[in-house]
């Protein structure tokens, strides 16, 4: 069934407003974000008022009701500014909401959709010190509470985006030692961050993306009621997580595309202003080659984004396509920011110029929501499965 999303005219007006907001409000505030390693509180409040934390939540529950194609456009536009601005709301929209939509009970939707649409911040607890892509090594456990119908969670999660600010976490935990089918031992739990036994480590120091925060989440005898189990069934958590990761990967692909465009625009301006041998370096053909290659790759990523999001909104299985888009867009962004440093020359290595920041910020896109290498394996697995099914 096709997801039509927001009315086209209304969405066009929203995007026009958003583009102005990015240019006039977010980009000018970037120096403050970097200096303080935090988004100003008034900007976070403005983003909540604009509905950015509930973009894909249905309108009946207080959200904007965007479809995936529209959501990706918003992410791409927001990602033209510092990555922290996207990071603060993207887990809500791309992962937490997706998991609620795909696996939540009616009661869970009724409780959590209005809360995240109003601006409560979510985090997504999958990765652990000893497991990331390998769910079989997951050590966090959820055991039935002997005193009631709930669960007791113990374990820790690592590299959790937004953990220091989050109001709620979606925690993946082992509910059985092993189970069939594969990964049926993992279940998902909706856990408010103020639940006794929940604690957050100090924010990790990172290579880039100032203003976004990543930290460990520790669970020490965390008691949750039975209704915290996503979907009301054990053994479905990993599937819900993977489905939401498809949405998260589209978000990262869109962010990579938007940030690559920002970097290229910066390099184009610099190349026209920087003089060498009595003329702008933009006149030199090898500079033009780097500009042209970058524009071409961004265009290809935009075309992939349009295709994969249209497939999602038509209800197709897009595991392979979402992985391919994320791989291409994130690797593309890495190549673009590398060229941008080269175009800036010596200035590109100095922290006072944007090129150096673009280079550091972009590196994580190739790692989180599935590394390039893990996603390549996933793409190949689906290719081979499809080929074998066809012969």
Residue positions annotated with a catalytic role = 369
> Do residues 228 and 171 lie in contact, with contact meaning Cβ atoms separated by under 8 Å?
no
Q: What kind and span of H or E run contains 101?
A: helix 97-103
Cis previous bond, 181, omega within 30: yes
DSSP 189-216: EEEETTSTTEEE-PPPP-SS-TT--EEE
- Exposed/middle/buried for residue 246 (C-beta within 10 Å: 0-12, 13-18, 19+): buried
> Do residues 109 and 98 lie in contact, with contact meaning Cβ atoms separated by under 8 Å?
no
Q: Which residues pair with 285 in a beta bridge?
A: none
> Do residues 250 and 309 lie in contact, with contact meaning Cβ atoms separated by under 8 Å?
yes
Q: Which residues pair with 157 in a beta bridge?
A: 217
Q: Give the list of residues 6+ apart from residue 26 with CB closer than 8 angstroms, or none.
A: 43, 78, 81, 82, 85
């Amino acid at each position: 069934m096709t997801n039509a999303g927001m009315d086209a005219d209304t969405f066009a007006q929203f995007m026009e407003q958003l583009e102005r907001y990015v240019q006039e409000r977010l980009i000018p505030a970037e120096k403050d974000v970097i200096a303080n390693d935090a988004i100003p509180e008034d900007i976070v409040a403005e983003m909540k008022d604009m509905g950015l934390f509930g973009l894909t939540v249905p309108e009946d529950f207080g959200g904007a009701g965007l479809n995936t194609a529209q959501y990706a456009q918003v992410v791409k536009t927001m990602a033209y500014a510092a990555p922290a601005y996207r990071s603060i709301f993207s887990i809500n929209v791309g992962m937490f909401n997706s998991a609620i939509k795909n696996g939540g009970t009616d009661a869970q939707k009724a409780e959590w959709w209005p809360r995240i649409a109003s601006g409560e911040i979510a985090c997504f607890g999958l990765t652990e010190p000893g497991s990331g892509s390998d769910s079989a090594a997951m050590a966090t456990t959820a055991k039935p509470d002997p005193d009631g119908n709930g669960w007791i969670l113990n374990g820790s999660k690592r590299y959790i985006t937004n953990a220091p600010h989050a109001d709620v976490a979606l925690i993946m935990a082992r509910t059985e030692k092993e189970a069939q089918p594969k990964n049926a031992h993992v279940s998902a739990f909706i856990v408010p961050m103020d639940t006794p036994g929940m604690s957050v480590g100090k924010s990790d120091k990172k290579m880039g993306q100032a203003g976004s925060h990543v930290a460990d989440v520790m669970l020490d005898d965390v008691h949750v009621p039975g209704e915290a189990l996503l979907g009301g069934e054990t053994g479905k958590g990993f599937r819900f997580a993977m489905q939401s990761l498809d949405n998260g990967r589209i978000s990262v692909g869109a962010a990579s595309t938007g940030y690559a465009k920002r970097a290229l625009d910066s390099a184009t301006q610099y190349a026209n202003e920087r003089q060498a041998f009595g003329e702008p370096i933009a006149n030199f053909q090898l500079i033009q080659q780097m500009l042209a290659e970058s524009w071409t790759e961004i265009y290809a990523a935009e075309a992939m984004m349009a295709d994969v999001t249209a497939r999602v909104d038509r209800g197709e299985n897009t595991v392979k396509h979402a992985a391919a888009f994320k791989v291409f867009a994130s690797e593309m962004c890495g190549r673009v920011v590398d060229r941008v440093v080269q175009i800036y020359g010596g200035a590109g290595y100095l922290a006072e110029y944007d090129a150096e920041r673009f280079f550091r910020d972009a590196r994580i896109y190739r790692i989180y929501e599935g590394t390039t290498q893990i996603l390549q394996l996933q793409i190949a697995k689906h290719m081979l499965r499809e080929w074998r099914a066809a012969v």
